[in-house]
């Protein structure tokens, strides 16, 4: 059985969409919603501890597709999406440094300016390999290196989040179409059963 215990209650109003319901529908899982009352009681931190992970959408869908011929596989990348040219990556270099609980970061004070349109597997290599740790000397250089690494990490994660959301949408669409197919199938089987009943049952008149 699937990961159906995941997120039965703690639905984020927007991002946490209804895919869980679809999963239940497809798998015909008996719902145990006694925990619905506890919504809002458990804080976010505890929530994360409770929630169990499930496989990635790509994995799930690919497994689905191997089981069911009609189910499409999630593609690795759609670089031609929206018709925008790939491999455009511009980043503003932050100037000021601030301290957070997780480390020393920098900021410009306004929103970071970036425009990225590159496949996740083809990140700007020039940026990645720009400086090796051995070539750093002054604290300023170290700070710049840390900043550069952080910006790179954020950029990668931004793209990863986009891709993840795209996959999730695709996954939900797939589930929806699967629900439709199964409903039709179910209807047909019920009709067939009724027909067979009529044929097999002896007339008593």
Partner DNA sequence: CATGCCCATCGTCAGGTGTA
Partner DNA sequence: TACACCTGACGATGGGCATG
CB of 150 or CB of 178, closer to DNA: 150
* C-beta of 112 vs 124, nearer to DNA: 112
In angstroms, the CA 194 to CA 205 distance is 20
Residues with Cβ within 8 Å of 136's Cβ and at least 6 positions away in sequence, in order, are 142, 145
Question: Which residues sit at the interface with DNA, rule CB under 7 A?
Answer: 7, 10-16, 43-45, 47-49, 51-59, 100-102, 105, 112, 120-121, 154-158, 160-165, 167-168
Q: Considering beta carbons, is residue 131 or 181 the nearer one to DNA?
A: 131
User: Residue 41, SS3?
Assistant: coil
Contacts of 185 (CB under 8 A, 6+ apart): none
How buried is 38 (Cβ within 10 angstroms: 0-12 exposed, 13-18 middle, 19+ buried)?
exposed
User: In angstroms, what is the minimal distance from the CB of 69 to DNA?
Assistant: 22
Q: Least distance in Å: CB of 45 to DNA?
A: 7
Closest distance of CB 147 from DNA, Å: 12
């Amino acid at each position: 059985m699937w990961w159906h215990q995941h997120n039965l209650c703690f639905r984020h109003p927007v991002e946490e969409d209804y895919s869980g319901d679809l999963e239940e529908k497809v798998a015909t899982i008996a719902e145990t919603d006694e925990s619905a009352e506890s919504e809002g009681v458990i804080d976010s931190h505890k929530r994360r501890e409770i929630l169990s992970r499930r496989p990635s959408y790509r994995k799930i869908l690919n497994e689905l597709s191997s089981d069911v011929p009609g189910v499409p596989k999630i593609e690795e990348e759609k670089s031609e999406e929206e018709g925008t040219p790939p491999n455009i990556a511009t980043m503003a270099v932050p100037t000021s440094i601030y301290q957070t609980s997780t480390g020393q970061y920098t900021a410009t004070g306004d929103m970071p300016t970036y425009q990225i349109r590159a496949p996740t597997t083809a990140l700007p290599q020039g940026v990645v390999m720009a400086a090796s740790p051995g070539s750093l000397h002054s604290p300023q250089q170290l700070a710049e290196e840390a900043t550069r690494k952080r910006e790179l990490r954020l950029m990668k994660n931004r793209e990863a989040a986009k891709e993840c959301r795209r996959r999730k949408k695709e996954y939900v669409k797939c589930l929806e179409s699967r629900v439709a197919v199964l409903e039709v199938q179910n209807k047909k089987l019920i009709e067939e059963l009724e027909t067979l009943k009529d044929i097999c049952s002896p007339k008593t008149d």
